[in-house]
Amino acid sequence: MLWACLLLPQLALDGVLRGRADNSPLVLVDGPANARTVVAVNASAREAGLRIGQRLTAAQALLARFEAVPYAAADVARWQQFLASVAYRYSSQVALLPHAIVLEVSKSQSLFGSWAMMEHRLRTDFAALGFRYRIAAAPTPHGAYVLAGMSDGQTALSHQGLRQRLDDVPLGKSRLPAQAIDALPRMGVRRLGQLLGMPRDGLQRRFGAELLQAMDRLIGDLPAGLDLYMPPDAVDWTIELSHEVENVAALIFPLKRMTGDLAAYLSGRDGGVQRFLLKLEHRDLAATEVVISMLSPERNADVLFDAARGRLERIQLPAPVLTVRLIADDLPGFVPAGRDLFDERPANALPFEQLRERLRARLGDRAVYQWGSTIDPRPEHSQRIAAQDDAPLEPRPRPTWLLERPIPLRGALRVISGPERLETGWWDGGDTRRDYYILETELGQRAWAFCAPGEQSGWMLHGWFA
Amino acid sequence: MGAVVALSNLLDARQVWRGRAAPLVEGEQPTGWAMLDAALPTRGWPDAALTEILLPADGIGELRLLLPTLARLTRGDRPVVLIAPPYAPCAMGWRQQGVNLQRLEIVDADEKQVLWAAEQCLRSGSCAAVLAWPQQADDRSLRRLQVAADTGRALAFVFRDRKHLANASPASLRLELAGMPHASLWIRKCRGGNTPAQAIPFNQAQRFSGEGWNPMAVMHVVHQHMHGAVDSGLRGNYALEKPSA
């Protein structure tokens, strides 16, 4: 067993910061209305001298302009769930601890390579998502949790190694029950190593079974007893915008984050999304809904962003937007497109599916299509929008351009061939009785035109032999 | 000054440009029309470049010119894309010419988006050929298409009205189609060669042979003869030179 722990020390702040593109001073505040205190500060606020634990009034005295966002515990839980769904990509055993995610990685090593390589992947993923983290690995989840609390990048691959590292951990960072941590230093026990070496029955008498259980879990003598995380089957995320947005262009940055998150979530559960919904919520009006539906399940961040952006840019906002909500509940399996090893396309070619989604996003859902012929002999019904094409080949010549509806054709015309009598359509009331000819116009065009049987006048143009 | 440098050293070091353009590679994109291939410096369509086709009117033969190429390309892996065609392509007519409709994508785009869509398709590298009918194209936008075609290694065809002939164009090849007095094809510009002084005859009958050849179409000719619906133009031209395969 090898457990990795991702400690997320600034989950609440990162969750707020990643929604905005600028780096202006920002703090999170919490506490009763008359005694608000700063609980987190970003880099530019720290430079200005703002510190965690300051009163909000003191902070306002230090810096004239900064943004104070209330700390929301629900958001923290949501971000933690989201990151767990990202980590789920690497392991089926993912669990949540306070401000941390632990995952079992030894069984995934045959797929992702050694721990060093997995660590690199996890770091890349979390850095791309914009969260700060510390990583540690140990044979027990609680052991990894404690090591991550000490410093970033601690790795203990064996139980002995874990024990050695734990020996030096001060009790304050051991994450053992608070009662014991308060009392033990007064007895002269300051390091975890000392505690682990003490006689067990004495400890049990003094602190109860709870402490021993926690110690056993830490070094692996007891099973970890964690509730494993199960990813949800639907996505419903909301981003509260920092101000009222009147322009679609200002929604692009939050949208990129959301589609990126969706892609990370989807690859975590090895699925795709075919249809999702963006709800732009206004103050008074009903929410504007933008439906993004694709031809096949996708999970590439660029494809999802392209598709959503193209559709978003075509709408007119009726009122300023307060929140953006992304809902995806149709999450089918994802089958990656197979590609030929000896592909004739250029190396950096965009797959055609991706191109098609990009065109559809900007030009409309029905803008890209294929024609297929039907067995109906009437030219008006001879083709439909379809991918398959199995009708037998027509032996008589057919034009290459077909007019949607026939129009009168005038001018000096010369009959080249014909007539071809068409007398059909009795079965659905669309009776047709026409003589089709190939005509040549003054300009030299070859026209496919018809007239009433036997008349050779009153020509109606129906196609061109272009 | 004073140091004498042998000319041959300079030339060997390739520090002097000798004013000779890079030799044209004979393309791998035959047009399917033997006389046109013979007249073009690349012996076919300029590969990964823009071809501009100027028409006096729609339906003059612009598709006849391209169908052998499209039939060949749609048998490959990459699709052919039609952007904003003036009419719907007749599925049966195209199939009679040997085009595989499963590799033919039609894109509806309004006037302002045609060039954008064409550029996206060309640049993506996933299309074999892109045919576009822009209403408003200027030198700048055509140049963009030319660059995009080169990036995506695709054939680009743009169909425009004949009145644009007077304006210069960045296209590698400019062809003008004429319907009267008989169907003919003028090469107005071709990169890497001189434009021929006379038109290339461009006959209806060649439709029934070459790349897009299919026995059903010939059966039709026989069928018509048997029924006495004599098509003198057809029979008269039928013995003419076949396009190259």
**Does residue B105 carry a pLDDT above 60?**
yes
Same domain, A18 and A146: yes
The reply to whether residue B59 touches residue A397, judged by beta carbons under 8 angstroms, is no
Domain of A297, CATH number, reads 3.30.1490.100
Give chain A's domain count: 3
A375 contact B CB<8A: no
Same domain, A175 and A90: yes
Same domain, A20 and A165: yes
Same domain, A94 and A180: yes
pLDDT at A338: 66
What is the percentage of chain B residues whose pLDDT exceeds 70?
A: 78
Q: How confident is the model at residue B236 (pLDDT cuts 50, 70, 90)?
A: very low
Q: Could you tell me if residue A50 is inside a domain? A: no
Q: Could you tell me if residue A31 is inside a domain? A: no
Contacts of A394 in chain B (CB under 8 A): 92, 96, 216
The boundaries of the domain holding residue A159 are: 3-24+66-219
Same domain, A73 and A171: yes
Same domain, A298 and A186: no
Q: Is A411 left (phi over 0), alpha (psi -120 to 50) or beta?
A: left
Q: How confident is the model at residue B49 (pLDDT cuts 50, 70, 90)?
A: very high
Q: Could you tell me if residue A189 is inside a domain? A: yes
Same domain, A185 and A253: no
The reply to whether residue B58 touches residue A366, judged by beta carbons under 8 angstroms, is no
Distance from the Cα of B54 to chain A's closest Cα (Å) equals 14
Q: Could you tell me if residue A135 is inside a domain? A: yes
Per-residue pLDDT of chain A (466 residues; tens, 9 = 90+): 899 999 998 888 888 888 777 788 888 888 888 888 888 888 888 888 888 888 888 888 888 888 888 888 888 888 898 899 888 888 888 999 989 999 999 888 888 888 999 999 899 988 888 888 999 999 999 999 999 998 898 898 898 999 998 998 998 888 888 888 888 888 888 898 888 888 989 888 988 888 999 999 888 888 888 888 888 888 888 888 878 888 888 889 889 988 988 998 888 778 888 889 999 999 888 999 999 888 888 888 988 998 899 888 888 888 999 989 999 987 888 877 666 666 666 666 788 888 898 898 888 888 999 988 888 888 888 888 877 767 788 888 889 999 988 999 988 888 888 788 888 877 887 788 889 999 988 888 889 999 988 888 889 999 998 8
Same domain, A247 and A203: no
The reply to whether residue B88 touches residue A359, judged by beta carbons under 8 angstroms, is no
Same domain, A123 and A152: yes
Q: How confident is the model at residue B226 (pLDDT cuts 50, 70, 90)?
A: very low
* Mean predicted confidence (pLDDT) in B57-74: 90
pLDDT at B88: 92
Same domain, A205 and A70: yes
pLDDT at B24: 60
A466 contact B CB<8A: yes
What is the percentage of chain A residues whose pLDDT exceeds 70?
A: 97
pTM, 2 dp: 0.64
- Domains along the sequence of chain B with CATH: 26-237 (3.40.50.300)
ipTM value for the complex: 0.75
**Does residue B26 carry a pLDDT above 80?**
no
Domain final residue, candidates A219, A249, A264: A219
- Using DSSP bridges, classify how beta strands A321-330 and A235-245 pair: parallel, antiparallel or unpaired: antiparallel
Longest dimension (CA), chain A: 116
**Mean pLDDT computed over every residue of chain A:** 87
A356 contact B CB<8A: yes
pLDDT at B220: 42
